[in-house]
Amino acid sequence: MRPRTEHQPDFAGRPIARPPRPRSTKALRLGGMLVIAALAILGVGLLARSVARAASAGRATPAASARQSGRGSTPTAVFAHIPKYRVAIHFPATASDMIAVGFHQAYNPKAFALAPTMRTLAIDKPSLTEQLLASDSSLKLFDQALRGRGSAERSAADCAVLPSTRLVSPATGTVTLLKHYKLEGRIDDLQLEIQPDGAPLLRVVMIHIKNVTVKAGDRVIGGVTPVATVRHLTLDSSVNRYLPVSPADHTHIQVNDQRYRLPSS
CA dihedral in degrees (115, 221, 141, 239; nearest 10)? -110
Answer yes or no: are the C-beta atoms of 222 and 88 closer than 8 Å. yes
How much is the pLDDT for 228? 98
Where is pLDDT greater, at 72 or 210?
210
pLDDT band at 237 (very low <50, low <70, confident <90, very high): confident
Geometric angle at alpha carbon 55, from 50 and 56, rounded to 5°:
95
Q: Are 124 and 175 in contact (CB under 8 A)?
A: no
Per residue in 14-61, pLDDT (tens digit) is: 554 555 555 555 555 655 566 565 555 655 555 555 544 544 444 444
CA 146, chain centre distance (Å): 35
User: Percentage of the chain with pLDDT > 70?
Assistant: 65
Where is pLDDT greater, at 209 or 119?
Answer: 209
What pLDDT is attached to residue 53? Answer: 52
Q: Specify the 3-state DSSP secondary structure of 166.
A: strand
SS3 130: helix
CA distance 225 to 71: 7
d(CA 208, CA 264): 11
Cross-sheet strand order for the sheet of 140-143: 120-121, 140-143, 98-104, 156-161, 249-257, 202-207, 187-196, 173-183, 219-220
Indicate yes or no: pTM above 0.75: no
The DSSP string of 45-94 is HHHHHHHHHHHHHHSPPHHHHHHHHTTTSPPPPEEEEETTTTEEEE-SS-
- At residue 244, does pLDDT exceed 60? yes
Q: Among 31-45, 128-142, 198-212, 248-262, name the most confident range.
A: 198-212
Give the residue with greater pLDDT, 49 vs 201: 201
Assign 238 to helix, strand or coil: helix
- The rounded distance, in Å, linking the Cα atoms of 95 and 143 is 20
For residues 116 and 101, what is the distance between their CA atoms, to the nearest angstrom?
A: 10
Sheet of strand 115-116: strand arrangement: 87-90, 78-82, 115-116
More confident residue, 261 or 204: 204
Residue 92's closest CA among 252, 236, 248? 252
Query: How does pLDDT run across 86-133, given as a tens digit for each residue?
Result: 999 999 999 999 999 999 999 899 899 999 999 888 765 666 666 776
Task: Give yes or no for residue 192 having a pLDDT over 60.
Answer: yes
